[in-house]
Structure 1
Amino acid sequence: MNGVAYRRIDHRDGDPYLTEARTGRLTDQPARVVIAPLAVGVCRSDLRELTGTRHLRRDFGHEIVAEVRHSTLPGVLDAGQRVVLDPHPVVHRTSGFADLVEIEGTAANVTAALRPVPAGQDPMIALFTEPLACAAHCVARLDAVTAGAAGSPVAIVGAGIAGTLMAGILRARGVDVHLFNRGAPRLRFLRERDVLPGVGLHPTGRPGPARFGRVVLATAAAAEPALELAADLLTPDGLLLIYAGTEPGDRFRGLDLDDLRRREQLRTAGAGRRRIRIAGSHGATTADFATATGLLRDAGTGPALRSALHRLIDVRAALQDGPALLRDMAGRPYAGKAVLTPGPTDTNGATP
């Protein structure tokens, strides 16, 4: 489909703006799919991209649940199929905050980037598939590096969407979970909406429960105060798992945190009673997306999880209101999940 007019939000110099675009080839890549978003979640990384504080990747508007409108991959990705976006495969695409998203790449990468979801699934639930997959990957990584301590209590530092989802996954398994956060409003939001029943919620400025053998740092950035808090929560020889965003040059107790996280290494820092193990978690795999889909559909835990995810959504806005919303969110803390809902696109005059 070429020449179809649609609206999308782009950004320049940190300022998001709504513009009109027309569909057309982006590259000479062999596979091309155009999707129509039903809902797009706002992620902290989108806001970091706006403010210029995100390193390497550019995934503006990636928490997408959509329907395929045009595809050069019939039988694999057909028109009308409902999909979510996996932002990890390398493809060329336009902004996800839009009525239409154009995606091009190799057939293998485009197929990997657009993962089918059940046609009848609530879009407001399906849009959590990608962040839930990343949270599931982190939990799987925690299991792998603490195999001998599976089921033992876990502390999570950072009560954003990622930390909240990790806490929910672990609690559903029966693990004793404690969530720590610097800002009280987010903890109050989780408590008032009963998002995480059974999970301990603790402001970082107050004494918490006993120390933990397993701690996950899930803040937006691996800043020194958050790292020190996470390390202080550890028992001697405990495991600190870094999920928080890192940049080249970030170091902690002599370790290159960015390299450790991106390569998912396991290292030891310090000695004696100051000795801690530090591991990294990065991204999500095909298996993690399958895990996320399974969690959302599970007959036992799925209903409670879906209900909790609905309660996490505190802002729903139309696409035309997106620039103002993104601008506001980039400049302040926020509690829940904001979702943009693009409208239908008029495809009259579309050409194949």
Structure 2
Amino acid sequence: MNLSNKYYQHADGVVSLVESNQLSLNKNQPFILIKTLYCGVCNSDIKEIRGERISRRDFGHEIVGVIISSNVYANRVGNYVTLDPHIPVERNTGFSSYMCISGTKDHLEKALIIIPSGNSVYILSEPLACAYHAVNRLLGNSQGVNKILVYGAGTFGYLIYLILKKMGKDVCIGNRSVDRLNDLQKYNLIENKHVDPNGKKYDALFLTESVIGVETIDSIFHKISETATILLFGAVKQDEPLNLYEVRNNELVSKIHYKNKVLTMVGNSGATTCDFSQSIDFIKQNSNELKKIITNISDLASGLRHIQNMVNGQYSFGKHVIELQKDSKDVNPIETTLHLTVVDHPSTSRKLNFLNPDLEHVNSCIDLYKHFSKKWLWRGKLNWLDSDWIKHFNNEHVIFKLIMFENSIIGFFEIQLSTPTTIKIKYIAILDDFIGQGLAADIMSEIKRIAIEMKVTELLVQTRSCDHNNALNYYLRQGFAIQHIENIEVML
């Protein structure tokens, strides 16, 4: 597939920015194409670049995007989505202008979670889902939990703390060094009373450091009760004693006797669809508070330097986000050509009449074209003379029809015979007062009728991102499928 795509790639600990006009897409299997708006930088991304990732590789997974094409979910085009990276699908990195996801239809549906908007705060959907999963795991496997410590004051630690705080739990947050705790207070994310004080004992503990083990437990052993419940959130090395690796990755619950205490170890990994639902609801209700943890939003170029600094060990507080594209109509819009093979005879129009224009209709055509050109950036016929229009009407390769509703001209459509077996739809336009009345289906039925009458086998249509918001979705519902995407320059 040809399109202008910028993305990050990494090798040997170095991140680079690449620009390409190619995106791998297998049209023979279910796929969804996403225009990526934002991608959050996760600590797992940094570890993957360094070659230190213990678990799966999923570079660039905290995304906010909008679906622009699919061969199985055409009705979802235009939906804002985030990604559940735990579902087995094939995809390119989320640090990319466009992300193509392929796999089974069922997996695609589960992997892309619909979100209310393209706001950058929704890059927290996946981290929050993982945080909710951890909270649900601990609370569901413990009894009589009163005092809770979240140990590890990174983004995940803060999100778990915030969920518990909103639940009304007695929760504190701690960290090996005071720097992160100071930053949380600096950004007004926690109050001093929620910072772990010396001498307090906890009966539940979340270990949210990036890598955890027995040494982590030893470092806070004096803070936990004799029968504490400990949730293993961070990654665990395979050779850790106490069977921590198996407990964590397989989400087991194991009681162990360790240094005269009976500890309940709760494994934790990933997130479920239910966790994502809780996460998105939480963002809706607490978006202003959550935005505080997003401390930096960068474009691809400046974000590259920031990520490389993190890879090289530079401490950086908060969630950092890469903005891939603007959530607005493109100045250089995408022009999409869709393809359909006509296989049956459609019903004819009942509401509309279609008129072949002649000289007396030239002024109406000029007025309509000027009206539509202001809205949809049409330029090709703006300077035409009357003679140009008449010549166009008489072109044997062009079919130009005025659309009549109750004896009034409300729009027009134009189709062109590209080859003896292919028709290209150039324009379909009706006045605003008639949009939303179901007339578009009648217009398309007339076009298909003409196509069958001319014995063509293909209909092609081009639609741009500066056309009507529902244009692409409408064509996809009519049975068209995306064949080609390219960037074109529109002269304003």
Q: Alignment length, in residue pairs?
A: 333
Query: TM-score, normalization: structure 2?
Result: 0.64
The answer for the alignment partner of 2:7 in structure 1 is 8
Write the letter of the residue equivalent to 1:293: I
For residues 29-68 of structure 1, the C-alpha deviation after alignment (integer angstroms, 9 at most, x for no partner) is 6211111121111110010101111123111111101011
Aligned twin of 2:195: 201
| Structure 2 partner of 1:235 | 225
Conserved in 2, the CA contact under 8 Å of 1:218 and 1:243? yes
Q: Structure 1 pair 113/34, CA: closer, same or farther in 2 (3 Å)?
A: same
What does residue range 115-126 of structure 1 map to in structure 2 within 5 Å? 115-119=113-117, 123-126=119-122
Which residue is 1:133 aligned to? 129
The answer to whether the Cα contact below 8 Å between 1:171 and 1:199 also exists between their aligned partners in 2 is no
Residues 1:261 and 2:261 are matched in the alignment: no
Structure 2: distance between partners of 1:168 and 1:50: 29
Q: For the Cα contact (< 8 Å) 2:185–2:192, is it kept in 1? A: no
Equivalents in 1 of 2:70, 2:240: separation in Å?
42
Which residue does the alignment assign to 1:320? 301
| TM-score normalized by the length of structure 1 | 0.89
1:217–1:244: 8 Å Cα contact kept in structure 2? yes
* Counterpart position of 1:274: 261
Conservation of the 8 A alpha-carbon contact between 1:35 and 1:66: yes
1:73-84 pair list within 5 angstroms = 73-75=72-74, 78-84=76-82
**Residue 220 of structure 1, aligned match among 210, 224, 240:** 210
Decide whether the 8 Å contact of 1:86 with 1:130 is kept in 2: yes
* 8 Å contact kept, 1:64–1:84: yes
Structure 2 unmatched runs, 5+: 338-482, 484-492
Q: Percent identity?
A: 27
Aligned 8 A contact 1:155 1:214 in 2:
yes
1:343 counterpart = 2:325: yes
Cα distance in 2 for residues equivalent to 1:224 and 1:20: 45
RMSD: 2.0
Matched, 1:244 2:234: yes
Report the Cα distance in structure 1 between the residues aligned to 2:193 and 2:290, rounded to whole angstroms. 15
Of residues 218-227 and 20-29 in structure 1, the stretch that sits farther from structure 2 once superposed is 20-29
Residue number in structure 2 paired with 1:160: 154
Partner in structure 2 of residue 60 of structure 1: 59
CA contact (8 A) 1:4 1:349 kept: no
Distance (whole Å) between structure 2 residues aligned to residue 229 and residue 271 of structure 1? 14
**Deviation at 1:28?**
7.3
Residues 153 and 5 of structure 1, relative CA distance in 2, 3 Å threshold: same
Could you tell me which of 109, 113, 123 is aligned with 2:111? Answer: 113
Query: Residues 38 and 325 of structure 2 are in contact (CA less than 8 Å); yes or no, is this contact kept in structure 1?
Result: no
Which of residues 176, 186, 193 is equivalent to 1:192? 186
Aligned-partner Cα distance in 1 for 2:90–2:289: 34
Give the corresponding residue for 2:18: 19
Is the contact made by 1:218 and 1:242 (CA closer than 8 Å) also made in structure 2? yes
Contact 1:4 1:347 in 2 (8 A): no
SS at match of 2:292: helix
For residues 268 and 97 of structure 1, the distance between their equivalents in structure 2, rounded to whole angstroms, comes to 41
Q: Find the aligned partners of 1:74 and 1:274 in 2 and give their Cα distance.
A: 53
| Equivalent residue letter for 1:213 | D
- Are the structure 2 counterparts of residues 136 and 348 from structure 1 closer, same or farther at C-alpha, using a change threshold of 3 Å? closer
Q: RCO higher in 1 or 2 (8 Å CA, sep ≥ 6)? A: 1
* Equivalent in the alignment of 2:165: 171
* Bigger mean CA deviation after superposition, 317-326 or 40-49: 317-326
Aligned residue number for residue 375 of structure 2: none
- 1:67-111: per-residue Cα shift (whole Å, max 9, x none)? 1122112355x2211000110100111111111111111111111
| Equivalent position SS for 1:335 | coil
- Distance between the aligned counterparts of 1:315 and 1:106, measured in 2? 36
What SS does the aligned partner of 1:178 have? strand
Q: Distance in 1 between matches of 2:237 and 2:47?
A: 12
- AA in 1 matched with 2:124: F
Match of 1:46 in 2: 45
The worse-fitting range, judged by mean Cα deviation, of 220-229 and 181-190 is 220-229
- The Cα of 1:335 is off from its aligned counterpart by 1.3
| Contact 2:147 2:201 (8 Å CA) reproduced | no
Kindly report structure 1 stretches of 4+ aligned residues shifted beyond 3 Å.
Answer: 22-29, 344-351
How far did residue 230 of structure 1 move?
3.6
Distance 1:10 1:314, change over 3 A: same
Query: Residues of 2 paired with 1:271 and 1:322: CA distance?
Result: 45
Conserved 8 A contact 1:319-1:343: no
1:309 aligns with 2:308: no
- Please say if residues 313 and 339 of structure 1, whose CA atoms lie closer than 8 Å, have aligned partners that are also in contact: yes
Give the match's secondary structure for 1:128.
helix
Using the TM superposition, give the Cα deviation of residue 347 of structure 1 relative to its aligned residue in structure 2, in angstroms. Answer: 5.6
Letter matched to residue 323 of structure 1: L
* CA-CA distance at 1:169 after TM superposition: 0.4
* Structure 1: distance between partners of 2:6 and 2:105: 26
Deviation at 1:22, TM superposition (A): 3.2
1:291 equivalent to 2:290? Answer no
* Pairwise CA distance, 1:272: 7.5
DSSP 3-state at the match of 2:131? helix
Give secondary structure in 2 for the equivalent of 1:149: coil
Q: Residue 271 and residue 324 in structure 1: after superposition, are their counterparts in 2 closer, same or farther (change >3 A)? A: closer
Stretch of structure 1 that moved more, 135-144 or 319-328: 319-328
Task: Call closer, same or farther: CA 1:60–1:212 in 2, change over 3 Å.
Answer: same
